[in-house]
Structure 1
Amino acid sequence: MNLEMQRFKADFFKALAHPLRIRILELLSESDKSVNEIQSLVGSEGSAVSQQLTVLRSKNIVTGTKDGNRVIYSLRDPMIIELLAVARQIFNNHLVDTITMLDKFYENETEEST
């Protein structure tokens, strides 16, 4: 069971390991969208967006619902929104640490040059 969970997590994070897929998920966290809407918002070719949506669908991260001749995509689990927020917080923490380290470095450089 533990190995199965680790594999699931690894596959899940592999599916997230692409900047365009992350951007698509961020857009879908705001509201459901069609391929054309996503394409317009990310400024990418339709084939690239469709390819990334296929990956996300295959891992059950997003779902597509037919609406006439178009498909409307949505997040399968709203917890994705929280996951993206936590990832943003982790990034911000790393950024703060880096800025603090650089500030200390420049303080030391300034002290040594005087």
Structure 2
Amino acid sequence: MSVPLYEAKAELFRLLGHPVRIRVLELLQDGPMPVRDLLAAIEVEATGLSQHLAVLRRSDMVTAHREGTTVVYALSGGDVAELLRAARQLLSAKLQGQRELLTELELEQAETRQG
């Protein structure tokens, strides 16, 4: 039996619901990286990173290949980078709205103190 689309989407967002996985995907937007470089850029133990990379690999978000003894990871396609860009835009819009609200509150406080 097939899974409804909304459940499949929810599973995708659960997959992305960990900061280490998001950070890995962000780092890989600049191009393929060996595991050692990912470890240096993310403050997480090697076993933890390995588990997160395995989840991303199983979900086809990243690919991995060997270069000698080094495993190099890359985004599996442009759609992943596009999703991260969309998330940045949504977050930016949300923060802009909060910034505007904070400015209004600060103006109101200043007027209250003066009046």
- Name the TM-score, length of structure 2 as normaliser: 0.89
Q: Which moved further from structure 2: 84-93 or 63-72?
A: 63-72
Structure 1 unpaired stretches of 5+: none
The alpha carbon displacement at 1:79 in A equals: 1.3
SS of structure 2 residue aligned to 1:36: helix
Name the aligned partner's letter for residue 40 of structure 2.
Answer: S
SS of structure 1 residue aligned to 2:4: helix
TM alignment of 1:75-114, pairs within 5 A:
75-114=75-114
The aligned residue for residue 27 of structure 2 is 27
The alpha carbon displacement at 1:34 in A equals: 1.5
The alpha carbon displacement at 1:69 in A equals: 2.0
- For 1:52 and 1:96, the matched residues in 2 are separated by 31
The aligned residue for residue 44 of structure 2 is 44
Q: Aligned pair 1:66/2:66, yes or no?
A: yes
> 1 or 2, which has the higher helix percentage?
1
Aligned pair count reads 114
- For 1:58 and 1:7, the matched residues in 2 are separated by 18
Name the aligned partner's letter for residue 60 of structure 1.
Answer: D
Name the aligned partner's letter for residue 40 of structure 1.
Answer: A
The alpha carbon displacement at 1:3 in A equals: 4.8
SS of structure 2 residue aligned to 1:30: coil
Structure 2 unpaired stretches of 5+: none
- Name the TM-score, length of structure 1 as normaliser: 0.90
- For 1:59 and 1:75, the matched residues in 2 are separated by 11
Name the aligned partner's letter for residue 11 of structure 1.
Answer: E
Name the aligned partner's letter for residue 24 of structure 1.
Answer: V
After TM superposition, the runs of 4+ consecutive aligned structure 1 residues lying more than 4 A away are: none
- For 2:48 and 2:35, the matched residues in 1 are separated by 10
Name the aligned partner's letter for residue 37 of structure 2.
Answer: E
The alpha carbon displacement at 1:5 in A equals: 2.2
**What is the root-mean-square deviation of aligned Cα atoms in Å?**
1.7
The alpha carbon displacement at 1:7 in A equals: 2.4
SS of structure 2 residue aligned to 1:66: strand
SS of structure 1 residue aligned to 2:56: helix
